[in-house]
């Protein structure tokens, strides 16, 4: 769990740094999102394969879920710490700029929407734009995806000892 969670966390940070260096921090390219998801699947499956090999070819669904969620949780914590450092020291105006970007996107997507309603939604979203809340959402989202991935992979890879 620690090994693959650490690897996934480091890989996520590398993707975030690459995204930042390309200048797409407010609207990441879809390839970054796909790569992040593929990496999560890969590291969870690799972790499950290692556990199954360690258990002489046997893997219970509960073990798979526990390991997959653990990998995702550790990776999410590492990613959240990176995000807090990023938004506090590297790009201290991140949350302000993100709010302005979202407001601009709302005006572009909904040109006929009442301006007061857009302002109200922007103000509401600002409450969730603190580094702490965004880091928490990163962890929770990662754990939910980790649960889904480990459930599916666990169902595919499970092999339990039969007792007679």
Task: Please state, in angstroms and rounded to a whole number, the distance separating the CA atoms of residues 80 and 132.
Answer: 8
Q: Is the pLDDT assigned to residue 164 strictly greater than 60? A: no
Task: Please state, in angstroms and rounded to a whole number, the distance separating the CA atoms of residues 68 and 135.
Answer: 20
Q: Is the pLDDT assigned to residue 99 strictly greater than 80? A: yes
Contact call for residues 158 and 61 (beta carbons, < 8 A): yes
16-56 pLDDT, tens per residue?
999 998 887 888 778 888 999 999 999 999 999 999 999 99
Mean pLDDT of the chain: 91
Q: Using pLDDT thresholds of 50, 70 and 90, give the confidence band for residue 127.
A: confident
What is the pLDDT, as a whole number, of residue 128?
83
**Beta bridge partner(s), residue 159:** 59
12-26 pLDDT, tens per residue?
999 999 999 888 788
Could you please report the per-residue DSSP string of 93-126?
THHHHHHHHHHHHHHHH-TTS-HHHHHHHHHHHH
The stretch 58-86 carries a mean pLDDT of: 96
Residue 2 burial by Cβ neighbours in a 10 Å radius (0-12, 13-18, 19+): exposed
Give pTM, 2 decimals: 0.87
């Amino acid at each position: 769990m620690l090994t693959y969670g650490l690897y996934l966390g480091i890989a996520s940070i590398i993707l975030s740094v690459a995204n930042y260096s390309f200048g797409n921090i407010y609207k990441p390219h879809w390839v970054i999102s796909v790569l992040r998801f593929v990496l999560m699947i890969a590291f969870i499956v690799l972790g499950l394969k290692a556990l199954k090999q360690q258990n002489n070819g046997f893997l219970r669904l509960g073990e798979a879920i526990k390991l997959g969620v653990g990998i995702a949780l550790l990776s999410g914590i590492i990613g959240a710490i990176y995000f807090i450092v990023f938004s506090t020291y590297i790009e201290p105006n991140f949350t302000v700029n993100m709010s302005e970007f979202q407001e601009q996107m709302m005006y572009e997507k909904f040109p006929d929407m009442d301006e007061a309603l857009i302002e109200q939604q922007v103000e509401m979203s600002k409450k969730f734009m603190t580094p702490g809340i965004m880091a928490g959402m990163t962890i929770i989202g990662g754990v939910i995806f980790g649960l889904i991935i480990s459930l599916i992979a666990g169902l595919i890879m499970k092999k339990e000892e039969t007792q007679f």
